[in-house]
C-alpha cells in the first residue's frame, strides 16, 4: 500500500508541476487508481459516477481543490466512504460533506456526515421507527424534564419565532423505547468550537447550514442512548474521519489520527 501511495503522490506532483488545473490533477489520480476504485465501489455506483462526484465537488470549492491536490488519497478516501454509505457529498440534499482541513500545515480532506445523512442511515438500520431533530426559538413554547420520567414539549409559534435557543432530537425504536437529547445554543457552539477545526471557515457547513449542523450534534447525542446494531455504529464512526486509502470496506480503514484532537476527546468523553 505504501509503495502504491508513494507512486500516486509522485504522479500527482508530476501533473501539478505542469500547472494543470486541480480537476486535471485529480482526474489523473482517478485514472491511475481506476482499478482499485472499481474494486472498492458498491454495485450501485459506477466508476464514472464516482469520478463525476469527485470532480464536481472540487470544482466549486478552491480550498477543497487545494486539499485534493495536496493530499489526493484523503479525497478519494472521503468520497469512497460516502459512496459505500450510499450518500452523495456536497449536494443540496445535505447528506454529507467533503471538508478541507489543515493538519500540521498540510491540507487534507475530511468526510463529514450531515444530519439528513445521519437520519437516513438510522432509518436504514431498521432499528428506529421515528427519528427527528428540531431547532427551538425564543418565541416557541418549549419545556423538558430529565430524570426517571423524562418529558419534552415543543409548540412552535406561528409568527416571528425569534432567535434560536435550543436544538433537540428524539427517537423511537421498533421495540417501543424512546429517548431524546437537548442542548442549548451555547452548548452547541461550545461543542462546535472544541471539535470542529474548520467551523470558522467560510466553506464549513457550520457557516452555511448552521441549523442542520446543530441538529446533527443533538442527533448523535440522542443516538448514544439507542440500542443500535454494530453495523450502524461502524457507519457513523466514519464521521469527521480522514482516511488516506480506498478499501472494499471503508469502515476497516484506520483514520489518520490527530493526536491533539484525540487527547481532547479522551479528556472530554465521547465526542459528538
Question: Is the separation of the CB atoms in 64 and 109 below 8 Å?
Answer: yes
The pLDDT of residue 15: 47
pLDDT of 90 reads 85
What the block records as the C-alpha cell of 35 is 482499478
Please give the Cα distance from 124 to 167 (Å, whole number): 24
Distances (CA, A) of 48 to 41, 52, 76, 156: 11, 6, 14, 45
Pairwise CA distance, residues 241 & 78, whole Å: 8
pLDDT at residue 124 is higher than 50 = yes
CA dihedral 167, 168, 169, 170 (to 10 degrees): -150
Q: Locate 124 and state its grid cell.
A: 436504514
Mean pLDDT of 139-145: 97
Query: What is the pLDDT of the chain when averaged over all its residues?
Result: 84
Query: Residue 229 pLDDT more than 90?
Result: no
Q: What is the mean pLDDT of residues 252-261?
A: 70
Does residue 226 surpass a pLDDT of 50?
yes
Tell me: pLDDT of 33 over 90: no
Query: Is the confidence at residue 134, as pLDDT, over 80?
Result: yes
State pTM to two decimals: 0.78
pLDDT of residue 266: 35
Residues 6 or more apart in contact with residue 163 via CB below 8 angstroms: 137, 138
Mean pLDDT, range 100-114, rounded to an integer: 89
Average pLDDT (40-56) is 87
Instruction: Provide mean pLDDT across the span 199-226.
Output: 84
β-pair partners for 100: 109
- 135/149 Cα distance (integer angstroms): 23
What is residue 272's three-state secondary structure?
coil
User: pLDDT category, 233, cuts 50, 70, 90?
Assistant: confident
Question: Would you place residue 242 in the very low, low, confident or very high pLDDT band (cuts 50, 70, 90)?
Answer: very high
| Cα separation values, 63 from 5, 86, 90, 201, Å | 22, 25, 14, 10
C-alpha cell of 210?
A: 448552521
Q: How confident is the model at residue 262 (pLDDT cuts 50, 70, 90)?
A: very low
Q: How confident is the model at residue 257 (pLDDT cuts 50, 70, 90)?
A: low
Comparing 5-19, 84-98, 170-184, 256-270, which segment has the lowest mean pLDDT? 256-270
Q: Which of 93, 86, 92, 98 is nearest to 55 (CA)?
A: 98
Q: Which helix (H) or strand (E) holds 240?
A: none
80-94, 175-189, 253-267: range with lowest mean pLDDT = 253-267
Please report which confidence band the pLDDT of residue 133 belongs to, taking 50, 70 and 90 as the band edges. Answer: very high
Tell me the torsion sign for CA atoms 18, 24, 28, 33. Answer: positive
Report pLDDT for 267: 36
Amino acid at each position: 500500500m505504501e509503495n502504491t501511495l508513494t507512486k500516486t503522490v509522485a504522479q500527482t506532483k508530476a501533473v501539478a508541476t505542469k500547472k494543470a488545473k486541480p480537476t486535471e490533477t485529480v482526474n489523473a489520480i482517478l485514472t491511475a487508481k481506476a482499478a482499485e476504485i472499481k474494486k472498492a465501489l458498491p454495485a450501485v455506483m459506477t466508476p464514472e459516477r464516482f469520478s463525476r462526484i469527485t470532480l464536481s465537488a472540487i470544482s466549486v470549492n478552491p480550498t477543497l481543490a487545494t486539499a485534493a491536490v495536496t493530499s489526493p488519497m484523503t479525497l478519494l478516501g472521503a468520497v469512497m466512504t460516502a459512496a459505500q454509505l450510499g450518500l452523495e457529498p456536497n449536494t443540496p440534499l445535505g447528506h454529507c460533506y467533503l471538508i478541507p482541513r489543515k493538519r500540521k500545515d498540510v491540507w487534507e480532506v475530511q468526510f463529514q456526515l450531515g444530519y439528513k445523512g445521519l437520519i437516513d442511515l438510522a432509518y436504514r438500520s431498521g432499528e428506529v421507527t421515528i427519528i427527528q431533530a428540531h431547532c427551538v426559538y425564543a418565541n416557541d413554547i418549549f419545556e423538558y424534564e430529565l430524570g426517571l420520567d423524562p418529558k419534552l414539549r415543543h409548540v412552535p409559534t406561528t409568527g416571528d419565532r425569534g432567535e434560536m435557543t435550543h436544538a433537540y432530537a428524539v427517537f423511537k425504536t421498533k421495540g417501543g423505547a424512546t429517548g431524546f437529547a437537548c442542548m442549548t445554543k451555547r452548548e452547541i457552539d461550545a461543542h462546535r468550537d472544541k471539535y470542529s477545526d474548520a467551523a470558522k471557515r467560510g466553506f464549513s457547513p457550520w457557516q452555511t447550514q448552521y441549523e442542520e449542523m446543530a441538529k446533527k450534534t443533538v442527533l448523535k447525542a440522542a443516538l448514544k442512548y439507542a440500542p443500535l446494531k454494530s453495523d450502524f455504529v461502524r457507519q457513523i464512526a466514519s464521521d469527521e474521519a480522514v482516511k488516506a486509502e480506498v478499501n472494499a470496506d471503508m469502515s476497516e480503514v484506520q483514520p489518520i489520527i490527530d493526536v491533539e484532537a484525540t487527547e481532547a476527546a479522551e479528556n472530554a468523553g465521547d465526542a459528538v
